[in-house]
Amino acid sequence: MNLGWIIAGFFAALAVWLWRGRRRLQRFIAEEHSKLQSDVSKARQETEDDRSELVRRQDAIFNSMIEAVIVVDLDGHIVSLNRAARSMLNAQGDVLGQSVIEAFRRHEISDVVQQVARQKQVLDVEVCLAGIEPRYLRVNAVALSGGDGIYDGAVLVFHEVTRLKQLENTRQEFVANVSHELRTPLSLIKGYVETLLDGAKDNPEVQTKFLHVIEKHADRLAYLIEDLLLLSKLDSGQVVLNLQTTELRPEIQHVLDDLQSKAAERRVKLLNEFPADVEAPADADRLQQVLFNLIDNAIKYGRTEGAVVVGGSRRPDGKVEVWVRDDGPGIPPDAQERVFERFYRVDKARSREQGGTGLGLSIVKHIIQAHGGEVRVDSELGKGTTFFFTLPA
Ligand code: ADP
């Protein structure tokens, strides 16, 4: 074999080897490429799944928030809102893309959106949604800006504060009432003391008369403070009822006996018509307080030379009902619901003249409700008034 053939043979073998190597390399590259492609699409799918899960979770959080949240764009159109926002602001249908005024028909909210767009900063304001029953919302609004720092829209978070506002109003009203109630007898006492010091003390007749007036107003102050302390204890749950099976007729008689001299001053007859042997679970001291307030009122506001009768029975449902009836001028229909409110009086001058605090019936209601019972009043002008309360079986 000559050298030429050997070389040719070598190159042929090399060419075959190279060709096979190239084929293998191509196959390898193709396999790796398809593996890579499947890995990429798997990773893409996983990212997509993660993203959907994230969006789903964000939606769930967004919709389970108690606070109402609204996101608006640059022009004040709604980009998104959560479930609480829909119900709090009474959104009807699909409101996405609508302006705030179109979606909620509330200029107060549209005003906040315009304000945050103008000021481009965080706002914390309270808005009152006018209506038959006004509602109060606290709004935190944050301006959003794009990468270029230019205003891009806003996020508004709403908290319903109507209940808080009502409580605050009640508290303020209560404080104003208490101050007024304390100031009136105090300034009267001060006035009489000054007149005595200015010389009236030298006239024994005037002196005695003035001292009696001072005593009356000092008593009124003491009753008021006592009632206020009791109400505050009842409100804060500090009064724990000592419930015992109590026979009611003797309890009623006890209070009637205590009030006998007061009734005699107005020549009012006191009658106990409550049947014997009727028992109910009650705290005897608190029950006496309820009976005292109702019978005392019946004497004070009833007819001079009239009659106050206490009666009652066990009802078919097992509850015990007690009533206190007078034959006085009665309570006008529109005032009947209100007499249980703190400081409400039908006739302010008469109540004050009688040393009333305006808290007696609210104490009655509180104590009876704490027993699990109910209170109501039935009255007809010119014919008299009957207060009823029940005690559970
Ligand atoms: P007060 O200390 O003024 O008596 P109450 O809470 O006991 O306060 O009563 C509230 C108001 O209800 C009284 O001021 C009075 O106007 C009215 N009232 C209560 N009981 C009677 C009654 N038996 N007849 C008529 N009016 C009554």
Which ligand 1 atom sits closest to the C-alpha of 384? 24
Beta bridge pairs of residue 324: 310, 387
Ligand 1 centroid to 261 CA: how many Å? 20
pLDDT of residue 1: 60
The alpha carbon of 358 and the centre of ligand 1 are apart by a number of angstroms equal to 7
The pLDDT score that the predictor gives to residue 131 is 87
User: What does 267-324 look like in DSSP terms, one character per residue?
Assistant: T-EEEE-PPTT-EEEE-HHHHHHHHHHHHHHHHHHS-TT-EEEEEEEE-TTS-EEEEE
pLDDT of residue 388: 98
**CA atoms of 365 and 390, how far apart (whole Å):** 11
Confidence at residue 349, expressed as pLDDT on a 0 to 100 scale: 82
Judging by DSSP bridges, how do beta strands 320-326 and 384-391 pair with one another?
antiparallel
The arrangement of strands across the sheet holding 384-391 comes to 269-272, 307-314, 320-326, 384-391, 375-380
Burial zone of 60 (CB within 10 Å; 0-12 exposed, 13-18 middle, 19+ buried)? exposed
The closest residue, in CA terms, to atom 4 on ligand 1 is 356
User: For residue 362, which atom of ligand 1 is closest to its CA?
Assistant: 6
The length of the chain is 393
Q: Which of 224, 317, 302 is nearest to 259 (CA)?
A: 302
Distance between Cα 361 and ligand 1 center (Å): 7
| Interval 206-244: pLDDT, tens | 999 999 999 999 998 999 999 999 999 998 888 899 999
Looking at residue 153, its pLDDT comes to 94
- Rounded to an integer, the average pLDDT of 329-343 is 95
pTM for the complete prediction? 0.71
Contact 110, 101 (CB under 8 A): yes
Instruction: Give CA–CA dist 184/154, Å, rounded.
Output: 53
Compute the distance between CA of residue 189 and CA of residue 260 in angstroms, rounded to an integer: 29
Mean pLDDT of the chain: 93
249 pLDDT more than 90: yes
Burial (Cβ within 10 Å: 0-12, 13-18, ≥19) of residue 17:
exposed
The C-alpha atoms of residue 325 and residue 333 are separated, in whole angstroms, by: 17
Backbone angles phi and psi of 323, in degrees to 5: -130, 150
pLDDT at 317 over 80: yes
166 Cα–ligand 1 center, Å: 25
Residues whose beta carbon lies within 6 Å of some atom of ligand 1: 293, 297-298, 301-302, 326, 328, 331, 339, 344-347, 351, 356-362, 385
Report d(CA 253, CA 246) in Å as an integer.
Answer: 13
Instruction: Please give the number of the atom of ligand 1 that sits closest to the Cα of 340.
Output: 6
Q: Six-digit token pair at 228?
A: 């206020």
d(CA 8, CA 12): 6
Instruction: Give the residue, out of 351, 381, 389, with the most ligand 1 atoms within 8 A of its beta carbon, to mutate for a pocket test.
Output: 351
Q: 309 pairs with which residues across the strands? A: 271, 325
* 3-state SS assignment for residue 355: coil
Percent of the chain's residues with pLDDT above 70: 100
pLDDT reading at 355 higher than 90:
no
Q: How far apart are CA 114 and CA 128, in angstroms?
A: 17
Q: What angle do CA 346, 349, 354 make, to 5 degrees?
A: 95
Closest ligand 1 atom, residue 358 Cα: 8
- Alpha-carbon distance of 266 to 253, in angstroms, equals 19
Average pLDDT of span 338-346: 94
Query: In the sheet that 135-145 helps form, which strands lie side by side, from edge to edge?
Result: 78-81, 68-73, 151-160, 135-145, 123-129
Q: What distance in angstroms lies between residue 345's CA and the mean position of ligand 1's atoms?
A: 6
Q: Summarize pLDDT for 131-175 with one digit per residue, the tens.
A: 888 999 999 999 998 878 888 999 999 999 999 999 999 899 999
Ligand 1 center from residue 300 Cα (angstroms): 8
Neighbours of 141 (CB within 10 A): 23
User: What's 237's DSSP letter?
Assistant: T
Pairing state between β 375-380 and 307-314: unpaired
**In the prediction, which pLDDT does 80 show?**
94
pLDDT in tens, 34-51: 999 999 999 999 999 999
Mean pLDDT of 66-87: 94
